[in-house]
Chains A and B, each alone.
Chain A
């Protein structure tokens, strides 16, 4: 790399800039949690002027996390990260490669008194003891013998110098994985009524249909509740078919997705399927009772041949008063009678006894001499599935592992070097221990003190 770096290079290699980008991304993320996003933005449209709304929409304020701004910011951060790392990596590489010489005058300059001690011992024996100690704690030991002096040097934790680059690499991988996901990924949903089969899903961002290379059938949807009313299980029994042959089948539950040909299916929601069937009973005053299965649109002849009745609608829960069926009875010479038949009519009348006077269309006996009774609805659910395909996920998973590994290296390890110097002074041995590190100076100081104590003990014991 050339020494005279260009302006752009030095601009992007600044950590100040990284701090600005990190803060900007945090600020953008914050705005996104305050301004309603995507589907939720619709509610805001009614409260602000249309011009402002469309301006904000153009600025992609309502889809901030997928906006050009956010991509741009992530891209700039990525460039910043890369240049910062490339700019500083050679230094880390030099520090990693360097094997300091055993003789190091600088390390012993300004050495505090507590890092030295004197002892009566043979210098060669003492040096061997010190080498053994360094080998135990640090690994390889470099040694230099001079007349009346021994110099030793060892170190460890050098690989932790790369921690920060591993973390930066992981962030780049993360951004790459996220971009792959948003470009090649699919985020969709589909509702399937029990017993039905679909072969396309709807995309979440523009609600367009996307055909699947296979079809999905939902045989059954089960919802179970605890005694306190909270849901216990949501389960869809799914069958995946291709060209009439079964690819796969399984029970889809929350937290247990099913993957088919790269598409992952998730249990997301459920509901009552519209247009269900109902069981109606028809009672004639003083006469018999007919029971029939009906659904919207059905036309029947009245048992006494006075005319016909038609089922207009079948409702799961009309006005929060339970299941109901809307019926029209037509008879020659009479006005058409249209009314609702509630399943829980007895309870409704208990609460408001004069309901028939107030709302005549709620009277199931409006057409004399018949009374309609709704015995029940056939329960049918639809299951709401989330369908995703994200080819970026493996990359993001690798990034997460790198991120954690790199952070551990930075936090729990550090590169340091220790030197032991022994000088024969008359009948005494002058021993000095020095340490050097780029960070965690306090930790190194403690470590050197421990080393000093241990060496002193070992030497005294070997006397």
Chain B
């Protein structure tokens, strides 16, 4: 199908964008940065087009649902939200150095969706449990949250790259000098985590409302629900530690990385446990 063909091209576009961001960081020429932004934006537009085509195709096939209904579609949407959020951030901050840490995540997710065995990329009709208006709002908010946490994670990794190079910037490589200051990274990590926290809260609330209509209870300690709570608590600890206890820098970076681990387990690891949320087919 045309949409999956475009999506596999988008995988390579994101890889190219990552390579150009890397060139910029190594060569220190802004030309590569501008090229990288342009390529990433082109990838995002192509991916949006593919998603719209996929959506329309599902209507043409008489199923009529948003492309958010199976594992393949969730991966694609995850990558889309990550790139969207990153480009918005780049525009606002006028700083391109985060791209070299964020784009590879988007690329890996797209590649996983295309290559990993056992991932079904066909458009399929909705099983009864998914036939709900809450599907779109639940998946949308959850993945916006995941994307924000991914950016916080990328910033956490950047933070360690920067600090490992030592304090003396005059001796450091171009790569290190182009990274934002530790203060800036700390602020951004906090903002991304806080944004993710709001979206995760919305995701859990919309999920609870849906569960109330579908499963008979707003909360049933399903492993996915439980892990989303664990993730929520982890970021709650992170935000409290910063706002009230004054944690900064290294500790925040560790929390951002641990939190992202929880996100990944909520998203992927839970499929190893018996769950009502299992759609890894």
Contact B240 A22 (CB under 8 A): yes
Of A145-153, A400-408, A450-458, the one with at least 4 CB within 8 A of chain B: A400-408
Known: A25-B233, A403-B205. A393 touches B125 (CB 8 A): no
Q: Determine how close the nearest CB of chain B comes to the CB of A224; give it in whole angstroms.
A: 9
The answer, yes or no, to whether B197 is at the interface (CB within 8 Å) is yes
B214 touches A255 (CB 8 A): yes
Known: A393-B212, A404-B205, A442-B187. A33 touches B226 (CB 8 A): yes
- What B residues does A266 contact at CB under 8 A? 214-216
Inter-chain contact A26/B233, CB cutoff 8 Å: yes
Residue from A65, A232, A255 having most chain B Cβ neighbours under 10 A? A255
Q: Is the CB of A232 within 8 A of B128?
A: yes
Which residues of chain A have C-beta atoms less than 8 A from B213's C-beta? 255-257
Chain A residues within an 8 Å CB radius of B234: 26
Closest Cβ–Cβ distance, residue A42 to chain B (whole Å): 13
**In the complex the two chains form, what is the Cα distance from A233 to B240 in whole Å?**
46
What separation, in Å, do the CA atoms of A407 and B193 have in the docked complex? 13
Interface of B is mostly: helix
Evaluate contact between A408 and B198: CB separation under 8 angstroms: yes
| B221/A400 in contact, CB under 8 A | no
| Interface presence of B218 (CB below 8 A) | yes
| B131 CB contacts on chain A under 8 angstroms | 254-255
Contact across chains for B205 and A400 when beta carbons are under 8 A apart: yes
Q: Which of A37, A232, A257, A439 contacts B216 (CB 8 A)?
A: A257
| A22 surroundings in chain B (CB, below 8 A) | 233, 236-237, 240
Question: Which segment of A11-19, A127-135, A302-310 sits at the interface?
Answer: A11-19
Q: A23-B237, A32-B226 are in contact. Are A264 and B127 (CB under 8 A)?
A: no
The answer, yes or no, to whether B89 is at the interface (CB within 8 Å) is no
A162 at interface, CB cutoff 8 A? no
**Residue from B194, B234, B237 with most neighbouring chain A CB atoms (10 Å):** B237
Could you tell me the distance between the alpha carbons of A411 and B191 in the complex, rounded to whole angstroms?
Answer: 9
Number of interface residues of B (CB under 8 A): 43
Residues on the B chain within 8 Å of A23, using CB: 233, 237
Tell me how far the C-beta of B276 lies from the nearest C-beta in chain A, rounded to whole angstroms: 11
Contact B125 A19 (CB under 8 A): no
Residues of A near B218 (CB, < 8 A) are: 390, 393, 396
CB distance from A308 to the nearest CB of B (A): 47
Q: Note all chain A residues with C-beta closer than 8 A to B223.
A: 33
- Which of A65, A226, A255 is the one whose CB lies under 8 Å from B132? A255
Distance (Å) between the CB of A230 and the closest chain B CB?
Answer: 6
Q: Please, which residues of chain A bring their CB within 8 A of the CB of B30?
A: none
Question: Is A253 positioned at the interface, with any CB of B under 8 Å from its CB?
Answer: yes
Chain B residues positioned under 8 Å from A254 (CB to CB)? 128-129, 131, 214
Residues of chain A lying within 8 A (CB to CB) of residue B243? 439
Q: How far is the CA of A229 from the CA of B236 in the complex (A)?
A: 43
Q: Select one of A26, A40, A411 contacting B229, CB under 8 A.
A: A26
CB-contacts of A385-430 with B (<8 A) = 386-388, 390, 393, 396, 400, 403-404, 407-408, 411
Given contacts A33-B223, A231-B128, A388-B217, 14 further A-B contacts (CB under 8 A): A22-B237, A32-B221, A32-B226, A33-B226, A33-B270, A228-B124, A254-B128, A254-B214, A255-B129, A386-B215, A387-B216, A390-B217, A404-B201, A411-B194
17 A-B pairs (CB sep. < 8 Å): A19-B237, A29-B229, A29-B233, A32-B221, A230-B124, A232-B127, A233-B128, A255-B213, A268-B216, A388-B216, A390-B217, A390-B218, A396-B208, A396-B218, A404-B198, A411-B198, A439-B243
9 A-B pairs with least C-beta separation = A254-B128, A26-B233, A266-B216, A15-B244, A386-B216, A255-B132, A400-B205, A33-B223, A388-B216
Seen from chain A, the residues whose Cβ lies within 8 Å of a Cβ on chain B are 15-16, 18-19, 22-23, 25-26, 29-30, 32-33, 37, 40, 65, 178, 187, 226, 228, 230-234, 253-257, 264, 266-268, 386-388, 390, 393, 396, 400, 403-404, 407-408, 411, 439, 442
